[in-house]
Amino acid sequence: MEITCQTCKSKLKIPDEKIPQDRNINIICPTCKGTVCIEAKTDQKENQRGTDFGPQKLVSAVDHAKQTPSDIKTDISTIEMSMEELIDFIEEEEKRALICDDDKSHQDILRLALKELGYRAAIGNDHKDVLEKIRFEHFDVIILHDNFGSWLLSENSVLNFIQPMAIAARRDIFVTLIGNEYRTFDSMMAFSKSVNLVVKEDDLPTIKPILKKAISDNDKFYKIFKETLSSSGKA
């Protein structure tokens, strides 16, 4: 595929087989460092035309920047990377996790547990950084402390962003909420907070087996549903 940077008009060539059809890709132009967006096509009929991955819609960085948060599609993940990173990402894609906890000791425990479970973990610096990451990147797991960015859960902007998220995007993210007021594996509390799992802060030393069991149970729950969607071309 040959695409054109709308900022400097440079021509970029990318092998068709390196472009995934199920997510958006923001490519950093190596000439001007501008962003060129390749949007995934979800229409099965469109995917059957042109290349194996179907024609990709190109959007200039200027048009993309004009979008408001409500305009940004949340049912397709978006990854921003350089040309070199694009090739590495497609060939060596791994599961990703986002840690939203201001406590450094918690971060260390969570990062190690996630690494041992096969996830590459990123640390959210603050609520603005986290919201930016969630909007433009896909994370398989998000771990959020209930006082991250605010002592009041009702004012936790990260949780407030996740709770009304479109179901097509939300079901692909395993969200864990940590706090002192919860009982680990309390399914009713998790349901009331619109998360997959709640964990008592005191149980963080055993977070690895807790996450392993909860994520496994969640995957089993959605397995048949996702396979049905996939076979019908709606995934």
Between CA 102 and CA 149 the distance in angstroms is 8
pLDDT, tens digit, 9 for 90 and up, residues 28-64 = 766 666 777 777 655 544 444 443 334 444 444 444 4
Between CA 35 and CA 25 the distance in angstroms is 10
Between CA 5 and CA 117 the distance in angstroms is 39
Between CA 161 and CA 74 the distance in angstroms is 11
Residue 161 and residue 139 in contact, taking contact as beta carbons nearer than 8 Å: no
Between CA 44 and CA 140 the distance in angstroms is 24
Which whole number is the average pLDDT over 179-183?
A: 95
Q: Is 176 exposed, middle or buried (0-12, 13-18, 19+ CB in 10 A)?
A: buried
pTM of the model: 0.61
Task: Give whole-number Cα distances, 199 to 179, 192, 193, in Å.
Answer: 7, 14, 12
The neighbour count for residue 144, using CB atoms within 10 Å, is 24
Task: Give whole-number Cα distances, 222 to 91, 129, 156, 173, 218, in Å.
Answer: 26, 29, 27, 12, 6
Which whole number is the average pLDDT over 215-228?
A: 87
The answer on pLDDT for 76 being more than 60 is no
- Domains of the chain (ranges; CATH) run 2-91 (no CATH), 95-226 (3.40.50.2300)
- Residue-averaged pLDDT of the chain: 78
Q: Give the contacts of 190 (CB within 8 A, at least 6 positions apart).
A: 177, 196, 197, 198
The answer on pLDDT for 1 being more than 90 is no
Q: What is the pLDDT of residue 14?
A: 67
Half-sphere exposure of 170 (CA within 13 A, CB side): 12
Q: What is the pLDDT of residue 218?
A: 94
